[in-house]
Amino acid sequence: MNDQTVLLGHGSGGVMMKRIIDQVFAASYGSEELAQGNDAAVLPAPEPGQRLAFSTDTFVVTPHFFPGGNIGRLAVCGTVNDVATAGAQVKYLSVGMVLEEGFPMDQLLEICQTIKETADEAGVHVVTGDTKVVNRGHGDGIYINTAGVGLIPQGRNLSGSLCQPGDAILLSGTLGDHGITIMSTRENLSFSANIKSDAAPLNHLIAGVLEAAPDVRCFRDPTRGGIASTLNELASQSNTDMVISEDAIPVNPAVMGACEMLGYDILQVANEGKMVCVCPQNQAQAALEAMRANPYGLDAAIIGHVEASRPDRGNKVFLETAFGTRRIVDMLVGEQLPRIC
C-alpha cells in the first residue's frame, strides 16, 4: 500500500476505495466470500432444526493498541463471545470501519492482520465489510463495528431466564484485567507492567463446557459494568438472587492492587475474555474441569450459587465476604470508564 495514511478518497466508492479494500482488507482477511467481490456475501442456509444466533457490537476503545491486544482483537472477540453465549457455533463476521482522515496506514494494516489472526483462532470467516472515511478532527482514528452469525444446534436452548435456585455460578478466570489495563495504559501508570488485557475468543471454551455439562442454563460475558452488572441482569431475568463468595473470585493481585488504589470496585470493572456460566449443581464440577482444560480458563472457579428471591425485596446479588457477612452488589450506574471497548 503506497498511501501512508488514510485519505478521504479511501471511502469514496472509487478507485482509491478499491485499492484499500484489495490491499488492506481483502489482503488481510483472505476469505473466499470477500474475494468474490459482490455486495452481499452468499452463505449456506442452516440445516433443518438449526437456528441462527446473531449479534453486533461497536468498538471505540482508546488507546487503539494496549498490552494484550488492540481494537481489532477486541472487535472480533466481543462479537464472537456474544454469539457463542447462545451455544452457537460462530461462523461469519462482518467488519465495518469508520476511519479518520490521516489515520496511519501501517496501524490500520496491523489492526486488520490482528482481526484475521483472531478470527482464525476463533474459526470464523470475515465475509463482508464496509469502509467510511470522515474528515480529520471528526473521528478518533478508527471505530469498528462487527456483526456475527452462528448456528445453534437442534435442541439447545440457553437463556439467562433459566437460572434456578440451587444452580452453581462459574467464572472462567480473573476479573478486571481489561478495564485496569486500558485505564493504566491511558494514564501511563507504573503498575501496568504486570497486567494486560484478557481479550480472547471464548467460543471453544464454551463448546467444551457444553459438551461436559449439557444442561448449562446460560453463559454471559461480564464486559462493561463487570460481573456486578452481569449477575444483576441474570437475577432479574430469572427472578432469583445470586450469591457469590469473595474468597472464591479469582483476581490477579496486581489488578486488585490497582483497583484499591484507584477506588474501583473490581466487580464493576470490564472484562473482554471472561465468561460467567450458570449450570445445575450436579454438573458444576464437570463444567469447571472443561473450563480449566481451555487455555483461557486456567483460573476458572465456582464462585457462587443461585438462591430464591424474597418477594419483598426484589432480585439481589450478594457478595459473601471473608468475614461471613453479605453485602449487596449493585449494578454499575453510568460510566465507570468511558471508551473501554
Enumerate binding residues for Mg ion (CB under 5 A): 82, 221
Measured from the CB atom, the residue of 99 and 278 that comes closer to Mg ion is 278
Residue 221 CB, nearest distance to Mg ion (Å)?
4
Residue 34 CB, nearest distance to Mg ion (Å)?
26
Residue 223 CB, nearest distance to Mg ion (Å)?
5
Measured from the CB atom, the residue of 41 and 202 that comes closer to Mg ion is 202
Measured from the CB atom, the residue of 11 and 78 that comes closer to Mg ion is 78
Decide if 220 contacts 234 (C-beta within 8 A): yes
Q: Which residues are registered as beta bridge partners of 55?
A: 148
Spatial CA neighbour of 275 closest among 213, 194, 339, 184:
213
Residue 311 CB, nearest distance to Mg ion (Å)?
29
Mind giving me the DSSP string for 32-87? HHHHT--SS---PPPPTT-EEEEEEEEE--SSSEETTEEHHHHHHHHHHHHHHTTT
Decide if 197 contacts 67 (C-beta within 8 A): yes
Residue 242 CB, nearest distance to Mg ion (Å)?
17
* Residue whose grid cell is 478507485: 15
Q: How many CB atoms lie within 10 A of CB 113?
A: 16
Mapped onto helix, strand or coil, the DSSP state of residue 318 is strand
Measured from the CB atom, the residue of 84 and 317 that comes closer to Mg ion is 84
Q: Which runs of consecutive H residues, i.e. helices, occur in 213-321?
A: 226-238, 253-262, 284-292
Measured from the CB atom, the residue of 198 and 221 that comes closer to Mg ion is 221
Residue 84 CB, nearest distance to Mg ion (Å)?
10
Residue 189 burial by Cβ neighbours in a 10 Å radius (0-12, 13-18, 19+) = middle
Measured from the CB atom, the residue of 85 and 283 that comes closer to Mg ion is 85
Dmax (CA) of the chain: 67
Residue 141 CB, nearest distance to Mg ion (Å)?
25
In Å, how far from its chain's centre is CA 288? 20
Mapped onto helix, strand or coil, the DSSP state of residue 248 is helix
Measured from the CB atom, the residue of 81 and 240 that comes closer to Mg ion is 81
β strands within the chain, DSSP E: 51-59, 65-66, 69-70, 89-100, 125-134, 142-152, 168-171, 218-220, 240-245, 276-279, 301-308, 317-320, 326-328
Residue 308 CB, nearest distance to Mg ion (Å)?
26
Decide if 101 contacts 24 (C-beta within 8 A): no
Measured from the CB atom, the residue of 141 and 148 that comes closer to Mg ion is 148
